[in-house]
């Protein structure tokens, strides 16, 4: 039987690679494996902590600064508030007596309005408050 003529060309590989490609491929491959492993480690809890550490240090610093400021203010604060004219105990007493600060002010205003001014009072005020020099100066 006559064998059919094969029209396909020789099965030689027509493709080439850059020079030395296979000499260095395994080294490049191992480097990539190491990089992939390092990336996997970064995804682990220990790896995440490595990224979070700067943020945690900053947060701790803010907390320390806050405590340094807050504790002295908290300690000194009550002493300053004791200088208020009406403290908490006073307010409790005023509530009990059904009076408040406004009531007291109104009472003072009422007293002032009821004072009857007369010449004797005016003369007494002027004698105590103004010197003879002032009187001569104003007359001129």
Partner 1 sequence: MPTDKLIKQLKNIDTKRLAFHELVKSYQENLYWHIRKIVISHEDTDDVLQNTFIKVWNNIESFRAESELYTWMYRIATNEALTFLSQKKRRAIFSGTIENDYLINSLESDEYFEGTEIQLKLQKAILTLPEKQRLVFNMKYFDQIKYDDMSEILGTSVGALKASYHHAVKKIEEQLKEE
Decide if residue 71 touches partner 1 (CB under 8 A): no
> Minimum CB separation from partner 1 for residue 62, in Å?
42
The binder of partner 1 chosen from 2, 16, 98, 102 (CB under 8 A): 16
Nearest to partner 1 of 1, 8 (CB atom):
8
Cβ at position 6, least distance to partner 1 in Å: 9
66 scored as a contact of partner 1 (CB under 8 A): no
Q: How far is the CB of 16 from partner 1 (least distance, A)?
A: 5
What is the Cβ-side half-sphere exposure of residue 45, based on CA atoms within 13 angstroms? 0
Shortest approach of partner 1 to residue 73 CB, angstroms?
58
How many angstroms separate the CA atoms of 41 and 139, rounded?
99
Interface pick for partner 1 out of 1, 13, 111, 116 (rule CB under 8 A): 13
Distance (Å, rounded) from C-alpha 25 to C-alpha 13? 20
60 near partner 1, judged by CB under 8 A: no
Kindly state whether residue 28 participates in binding partner 1, applying the rule CB under 8 A. Answer: yes
Considering only 1, 3, 7, 43, the residue that binds partner 1 (CB under 8 A) is 7
Rg of the chain over all Cα atoms, to the nearest angstrom:
49
DSSP run (H or E) holding 55: helix 45-81
Chain length of the chain: 140
């Amino acid at each position: 039987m006559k064998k059919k003529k094969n029209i396909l060309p020789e099965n030689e590989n027509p493709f080439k690679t850059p020079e030395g490609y296979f000499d260095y491929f395994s080294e490049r491959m191992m480097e990539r494996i190491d990089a992939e492993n390092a990336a996997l480690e970064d995804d682990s809890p220990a790896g995440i902590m490595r990224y979070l550490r700067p943020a945690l240090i900053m947060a701790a610093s803010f907390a320390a600064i806050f405590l340094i400021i807050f504790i002295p203010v908290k300690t000194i604060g009550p002493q300053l508030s004791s200088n208020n004219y009406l403290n908490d105990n006073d307010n409790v007493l005023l509530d009990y007596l059904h009076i408040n600060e406004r009531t007291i002010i109104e009472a003072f205003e009422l007293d002032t309005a009821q004072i009857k001014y007369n010449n004797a009072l005016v003369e007494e005020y002027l004698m105590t408050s103004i010197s003879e020099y002032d009187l001569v100066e104003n007359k001129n």
